[in-house]
A and B are shown apart, each in its own frame.
Chain A
Amino acid sequence: MSLSSLLFYVSAAVAITTAIMAVTRKNASHALIYLVVTLLSIAVIFFLLGAPFAAALEIVIYAGAIVVLFLFVVMMLNLGRSSVARESQWLRPGMWVLPAILSGVLFIVFGYTVLQTENSATIQGHVVPPKAVGITLFHKYLLGVELAGVLLLAALVGAFHLGRRYLEERRED
């Protein structure tokens, strides 16, 4: 096994471990830091698979922008010790049993489907450079780019509307 393949399995183990940690933490800021580690190890996997542009986007937009947005909200809402205590109250023991069973059943179904596929293949890590991605994006998927632009505009308008204070003032009338 080459060093790159070994690195893939190490990053996969780190991603799974930190994802579990992120989902089960009680303190929101700790969970977000674990999420950053998950995203960075997925970015390493993207690099190894030969997708350097996707890896850069993963770091810049996911770990850089989206998680920082989460952190802003967590700091704005000022979640302190009391919220950690409330989390432990919400996460009663035994609550996780049914979701865990459901996830296990889904894992069996998904895993069976993946193993059923006949054309088993090996990823050789041919690098697809950003140039090829850009050419395909602005030729074949131009309509998709336009639609993504409209979606982001709608999100901007929606976030602006939801963030305003007059919604709660109207409620008090």
Chain B
Amino acid sequence: MTTAISIPLEHVFFLAIILFLIGAFGVLVRRNIIFMLLSLEIMMNACGLAFVAAGARWAEPDGQIMFMFILALAAAEVAVALGLVVQLARRFETLDIDRAEELNG
């Protein structure tokens, strides 16, 4: 069974690269921590897309399994990071990441 698609693998990789770089650009430009986390999600999605494309090229399930591991990683990361966002908002009453530059408990 196929989906009647016929595209070069490089095109999918280029899409993954572009999405990854958009995410990286977002992490570098934004100061609001919520937008930085959102950009990280875009970056992780791009990595997952590259894995799924490579798995689809050889018609093997391994690519999808790597995507599932990335998904578990993203879920864990978002849970902890949003807890940190809430703490940051409570203590400093801002979401500016530059305010959290001091490492004291």
Contacts and interface: CB of A to CB of B under 8 A. Distances in A.
Interface of A: 2-5, 8-9, 12, 15-16, 19-20, 22-24, 28, 31-32, 35, 38-39, 42, 45-51, 53-54, 57-58, 61-62, 65-66, 69-70, 73-74, 76-77, 79, 83, 87, 90-91, 95-96, 98-100, 102-103, 106-107, 110-111, 114-115, 117, 120-128, 132-133, 135-137, 140-141, 144, 148, 151-152, 154-156, 158-159, 161-163, 165, 167-168, 171
Contact of B7 (A5, A38, A65, A162): A5
Contact of B22 (A19, A53, A122, A171): A19
Given A62-B74, A117-B10, A121-B8, 17 more contacts: A2-B6, A8-B7, A16-B22, A46-B52, A62-B45, A66-B78, A69-B78, A90-B96, A96-B29, A100-B25, A107-B21, A124-B59, A127-B2, A127-B3, A128-B55, A154-B76, A155-B76
Contact of B10 (A3, A96, A114, A144): A114
B1 interface: yes
Interface string B17-41: 1111111111011111011011101
A125 B74 contact: no
A128 to B, nearest CB: 5
Contact of A123 (B12, B25, B71): B12
Nearest to A162: B83
B46 to A, nearest CB: 9
Contacts of B79: 69, 155-156, 158-159
Interface in B61-76: 61-65, 67-69, 71-76
Contacts, number: 261
B43 to A, nearest CB: 10
Nearest to A160: B83
Contacts of B2: 50, 124-127
Given A121-B9, A137-B65, A152 B34 contact: no
A141 B65 contact: yes
B78 to A, nearest CB: 5
Q: Among B10, B68, B85, which residue has the most Cβ atoms of chain A within 10 A?
A: B68
